[in-house]
Structure 1
Amino acid sequence: MGYIDEKNNLHILGHTLFPGTKTRINFNTAKHFTSGSVEVPVIVERAKKPGPIVLITGGIHGDEINGVEIVRQLISRKINKPKRGTIICIPVINIFGFLQLQREFPDGRDLNRMFPGSKNGALASRFAYQFTQEILPVADYCLDFHTGGASRFNAAQIRIDKNNTENLNLANAFNAPFTIYSKTIAKSYREACAKKGIPVLLFEGGKSLDNNPDIAQIGVDGTIRVLHYLNMLSPNVLLPEETTNTILISTTKWIRAKYSGLLHIKTPIGKQVEKGEHIATITDPYGSFNHKVKAPNKGYIININQAPLVYQGDAIFHITKD
């Protein structure tokens, strides 16, 4: 199990990392069918001065490329080099899914529904168990980057548990366009952090199999602000300018398609719409049917289904109710 000793040495994944060092460790899991190793690179940067350990992760779902890109930029731009404490970056947790451009592990299971895992369970469960035992215990704070699934594009947002002051303080420091009170999903990574008492921010932005530079920039800027809040930010990294404060949301609802057909979006992501406002149109392919989708209440559009075709009952918008 990972830990910090009395000399501020970090013990993780069978390695001892001294203060002021940087290391790349390969987290070995299962092998390919061809017996080749599948390794998850773990990039660790340690300052000489003691301080918090921040664990930054992307790619729990293998098709969520934007989260991978955010963590990659943090490393490439040396934002992960702290002036105190330690920053651990894992750009791609689900290497299996990433290689296949799919959400799940090869066993068909969603890794983000397998925590804390099992030593002798299915592949995804075993991976979650190793991660929970070997890496998570050393973390004081966690930042986890996600995107919307399938064709559903999320406005940049932080999701936190309600009534958790430290998470709210971190979310305010991150200052995403939206901060949403969201229930923790059973057996998720966020739940594993909560059970260990580790403050965690879950970032959502963009959609799967897409790399959106605007979303990536928001994720990078938010991380910089959090590191500044924790007094860990390197003096070589410029603090982004503040524009507006994050909008705190406590209640949301999904708008679902009443008809099947071609979906024509009429409103941009993140916009505040009025009740009854025309936000989309559903048509048939033959020019004989035209249905206007109207906002059921005043609120911000925080998710849009960008699929060109929808079935009756498909979620097409996520709207706030505050």
Structure 2
Amino acid sequence: MPSNKVKILGETILPGKTYQLSLNIAKLHTGTSIEVPIIISRAKLKGPSILFTGGIHGNEVNGVEIVRKIIAKKYHIPNAGMVICIPVVNVFGFLSQTREFPDGRDLNRVFPGTRTGSLASRFAYHIVKEIVPHISYCIDFHTGGDSRFNSPQIRIGKNDHESLQLAKTFGTSFIIKSAKREKSFRETLYKLDKKVLLFEGGKSLNINPVITRTGISGALRVMQELGIRSFQKELSSLIPKPDTLFLVEDSTWIRAKFSGLFHPTVQLGQYVKVGDSLGSVSDPFGNFDKIQKSNFSGHVICVNQSPIVNQGDAIIHITKNETELP
């Protein structure tokens, strides 16, 4: 929770005020400075502090859109506590529409970073040093990589009861217990005793209105649950929580048995059984059209929407060991 005196990036954050600050710690090889805007709103009343981040991977623009709309709709203005929004964490990748930093590194694999390391590592270091100490909670918005379209889902640690309760409040059909990747932002926050929800939905270089509204709805429900602000009126016009939530202990990818044109026939969220058809792979010359069947039973949580796949490519992501939550 924020203390009475809050100072971020050299600026004193006063109660009842909103600020747009800039994190500027690196330049492009042209000498051009790249500033990362950070929007901070602090209420007059004490309360929890939460961070919303999008675009840690520069091409995952649907996460950027979710945080942008939270700001544009003024949902980030709290009645208690403090809300920090970083719509585009990886401005470098966002400019070039790529996942990585200009140094070729994945920002989400270099946290907590170092002051004298690579460009990505230095940037991660300043995020952790300047922003993270002032928060208690974080929702980090991501999408599927490349052409893999994720069903809306929240990923949490495997032994984190409070995050599980917040994930249920957020309200996606699937809550996935997943191991924390080494040197990821989520792992770093966890080690610093911050509660973090990682939202996955949609695919890179794409904005989907359902994914956007789902992300916004979940963020508002979490803020309301934490006592930051009531959103009863706003939530009535957004996407309601699903009737059924599933806690997923494990999941697996079905991989293409052949190279060719991929024609998926299953839908996101659909339950499939062993032997059910997931789609087909055909060659471009009309010589074969092979049915791709499921080797497992579970819900479909990601579909590869690339029209062309290679043998061994991940094409359908299916849940395993799932239970229905009360």
Q: TM-score if structure 2 supplies the norm length?
A: 0.95
1:317 aligns with 2:316: yes
Q: In the TM superposition, what are the counterparts of 1:83-232 in structure 2 within 5 Å?
A: 83-232=79-228
Alpha-carbon shift at residue 274 of structure 1 (Å): 2.1
Q: Deviation digits for residues 37-69 of structure 1, max 9, x if unmatched?
A: 210000011110011110110000000000000
1:81 to 63, 77, 84: 77
Moved more, 101-110 or 161-170: 161-170
2:280 is the counterpart of 1:285 = no
The Cα offsets for residues 175-210 of structure 1, whole Å up to 9 and x where unpaired, read as 112100000000000001000000000000000000
Distance 1:122 1:237, change over 3 A: farther
Q: Separation in 2 of the partners of 1:11 and 1:237?
A: 33
Kindly, what percent of the aligned residue pairs are identical?
Answer: 50
Q: Is the contact made by 2:173 and 2:242 (CA closer than 8 Å) also made in structure 1?
A: no
AA aligned opposite 1:133: K
> Shift of residue 4 of structure 1?
4.5
- String of CA shifts for 1:293-314, please: whole Å, max 9, x gaps: 1111221010111111111110
Cα deviation for residue 120 of structure 1 reads 0.5
Give the counterpart letter for 2:253 in structure 1: W
Tell me if structure 2 keeps the 8 A contact 1:261–1:284: yes
- Which deviates more, 228-237 or 169-178? 228-237
SS of corresponding position for 1:82: coil
User: Any idea what the Cα deviations from partners look like across 1:1-42, whole Å, max 9, x if unmatched?
Assistant: xx944xx13111111111111000011121233323210000
What one-letter code is carried by the residue in structure 1 that aligns with 2:54?
A: G
Contact kept? 2:42, 2:81, Cα under 8 Å: yes
Which runs of 5 or more residues in structure 1 are unaligned? Answer: none
Superposed CA offset, 1:75-129 (max 9, x none): 0111111110000000000000000000000000000000000110110000001
In structure 2, the partner of 1:276 is 275
What corresponds to 1:20 in structure 2? 16
Cα 1:69/1:131, change in 2 over 3 Å: same
Question: Are the equivalent residues in 1 in contact too, given 2:176–2:249 (CA < 8 A)?
Answer: yes
Residue 48 of structure 1, aligned match among 44, 50, 75: 44
Query: How many residues in Structure 1 have an aligned counterpart in Structure 2?
Result: 318
Structure 2: which 5+ runs fail to align? 322-326
Q: Tell me the distance in 2 between the aligned counterparts of 1:115 and 1:297.
A: 35
SS in 2 for 1:51: strand
The Cα RMSD (Å) is 1.3
What SS does structure 1 have at the residue aligned with 2:318? strand
**2:30 paired with 1:34:** yes
Question: Is the CA contact 1:59–1:93 (under 8 Å) kept in the aligned structure 2?
Answer: yes
Letter in 1 for 2:247: L
Structure-1 separation of matches of 2:166 and 2:283: 46
3-state secondary structure, aligned to 1:30: coil
Tell me the distance in 2 between the aligned counterparts of 1:236 and 1:31: 43
**Does the 8 Å contact 1:79/1:237 carry over to 2?**
no
User: Which structure 1 residue ranges, 4+ long, deviate > 6 Å from structure 2?
Assistant: none
TM-score if structure 1 supplies the norm length? 0.96
Q: SS at the partner of 1:224?
A: helix
TM-fit CA distance, 1:279: 1.0
